[in-house]
């Protein structure tokens, strides 16, 4: 099974793309593990697979893009959810429904993909802001909090938060907010780069080297990283704005603690 080429990872400014359909599957034909990726599916829904995609699949804490695909013959597919296949490594599944179920796409059809640009921009702002927040907390507390480490993050607008190992007391909230404001106000460039293990080592970031096997990354492939110039580097497959200032005002909502970890939630106006 051919991996789907993730066009958005090379050029996130592509909001339309012409590509070929490689498969069209009904929801009922999917294995249970793949049906579970789109719990809101109805019997009339389908999955479309294409050679390339500009749709970011849900993952890495970022929601999936939504939008439409349209064939030259006029068939329209509303893309409601996008996920990586749980069965075929590297295959992107576009879940949704045809506006006219009697005229679906066929493998080999050329289609035009168009994403919802407003949602893409919102998700990109949240994702970048989350990394900026993570950098602010690390730089402030790495040596102040016992056993500190960055764990994971959610960049969904209604539940955005970064989680850290170690207990971060509430007294740090205003200090974190001030550092976050500083980084966003500095208008730091946000650059997408591709690194191998030696690049991480050369930058003193061995702790960030991803597990190739776990990520399905071949030995001759490089890892995609987001470099917030002047702050931090993160291995990341998501979409981002071009500078920290484009995140807009980012507010720290609260700090919560549980079982040795801390959660710093944030929101964009």
Percent of the chain at pLDDT exceeding 70: 100
What is the domain extent for residue 183?
120-267
CATH of residue 52's domain is 2.40.30.130
Domain boundary among 70, 92, 115: 115
pLDDT at 1: 67
> Which pLDDT does position 18 carry in this prediction?
98
The domain boundary, picked from 115, 137, 164, lies at 115
Domain boundary among 115, 136, 168: 115
* Residue 2, pLDDT score: 85
Q: Mean of the pLDDT values across residues 143-154? A: 96
Average pLDDT over residues 11-37: 95
List the beta bridge partners of residue 19: 111
Q: Are residues 137 and 73 in the same domain?
A: no
Is residue 193 over pLDDT 70? yes
- Predicted confidence (pLDDT) at residue 226 exceeds the cutoff of 80: yes
Exposure string for 31-52, b = 16+ CB within 10 A, e = fewer: eeebbebbeebeeebbbbbbeb
Looking at every residue in the chain, the average pLDDT score rounds to 95
| Residue 175: band (very low, low, confident or very high) from pLDDT cuts 50, 70, 90 | very high
Residues 201 and 244 in one domain: yes
- DSSP-derived pairing of the beta strands 261-267 and 67-71: unpaired
Give residue-wise pLDDT tens across range 202-221: 999 999 999 888 777 888 89
pLDDT recorded at residue 223: 95
If one counts every other C-beta atom within 10 angstroms of the C-beta of residue 110, the result is 14
- Chain centroid to Cα 119, Å, comes to 13
Same-domain pairing of 138 and 193: yes
Condensed to tens digits (0 to 9), the pLDDT of residues 71-98 reads 998 999 999 999 999 999 899 999 999 9
Summarised one tens digit per residue, pLDDT across range 37-79 is 998 888 889 999 999 999 999 999 999 999 999 999 899 999 9
CATH number of the domain bearing residue 209: 3.30.980.10
How deeply is 136 buried, as exposed, middle or buried, from its count of CB atoms within 10 A (0-12, 13-18, 19+)?
Answer: buried
Considering the domain architecture, whether residues 71 and 152 belong to the same structural domain is answered as no
What does the pLDDT look like over 229-247, one tens digit per residue? 999 999 999 999 999 999 9
Total domain count for the chain? 2
Answer yes or no: do 125 and 251 share one domain. Answer: yes
- Same domain, yes or no: 152 and 52: no
The token pair at 99 is 């506006």
Q: 137 with 110, same domain?
A: no
Same domain, residue pair 261 and 135: yes
Query: 85-89, 91-95, 174-178, 262-266: lowest mean pLDDT where?
Result: 85-89
Stretch 154-174: mean pLDDT: 97
Q: What is the CA radius of gyration of the chain?
A: 20
Q: How far is residue 32's CA from residue 205's CA, in Å, rounded to a whole number?
A: 39
What pLDDT is attached to residue 220?
87
Are 78 and 143 contained in the same domain? Answer: no
Q: What pLDDT sits at residue 39?
A: 86
Distances, alpha carbon 162 to alpha carbons 170, 225, 256, 260, in Å = 15, 18, 11, 14
- Do 160 and 192 fall into the same domain? yes
- Region 90-113: what's the mean pLDDT? 95
- Is residue 125 located within the same domain as residue 100? no
51 and 127 share a domain?
no
């Amino acid at each position: 099974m051919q991996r789907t080429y993730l066009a958005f990872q090379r050029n996130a400014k592509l909001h339309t793309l012409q590509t070929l359909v490689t498969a069209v599957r009904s929801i009922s034909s999917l294995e249970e593990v793949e049906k579970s990726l789109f719990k809101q599916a109805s019997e009339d829904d389908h999955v479309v697979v294409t050679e390339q995609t500009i749709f970011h699949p849900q993952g890495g804490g970022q929601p999936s893009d939504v939008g439409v695909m349209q064939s030259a013959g006029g068939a329209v597919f509303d893309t409601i959810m996008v996920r990586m296949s749980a069965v075929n490594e590297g295959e992107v599944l576009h879940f949704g429904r045809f506006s006219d179920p009697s005229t679906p796409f066929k493998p080999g059809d050329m289609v035009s993909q168009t994403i919802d640009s407003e949602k893409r921009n919102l998700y990109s702002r949240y994702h970048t802001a989350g990394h900026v927040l993570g950098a602010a907390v690390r730089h402030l507390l790495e040596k102040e909090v016992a056993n500190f480490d960055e764990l994971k993050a959610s960049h969904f607008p209604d539940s955005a938060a970064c989680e850290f190992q170690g207990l971060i007391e509430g007294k740090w909230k205003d200090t974190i907010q001030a550092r976050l404001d500083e980084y966003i106000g500095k208008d730091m460039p946000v650059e997408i780069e591709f690194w191998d293990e030696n690049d991480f080592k050369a930058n003193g970031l061995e702790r960030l080297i991803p597990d190739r096997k776990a990520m399905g990354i071949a030995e001759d492939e490089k890892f995609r990283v987001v470099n917030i110039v002047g702050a931090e580097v993160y291995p990341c497959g998501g979409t981002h704005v071009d500078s920290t200032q484009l995140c807009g005002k980012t507010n720290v909502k609260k700090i919560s603690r549980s079982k040795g970890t801390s959660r710093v939630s944030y929101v964009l106006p």
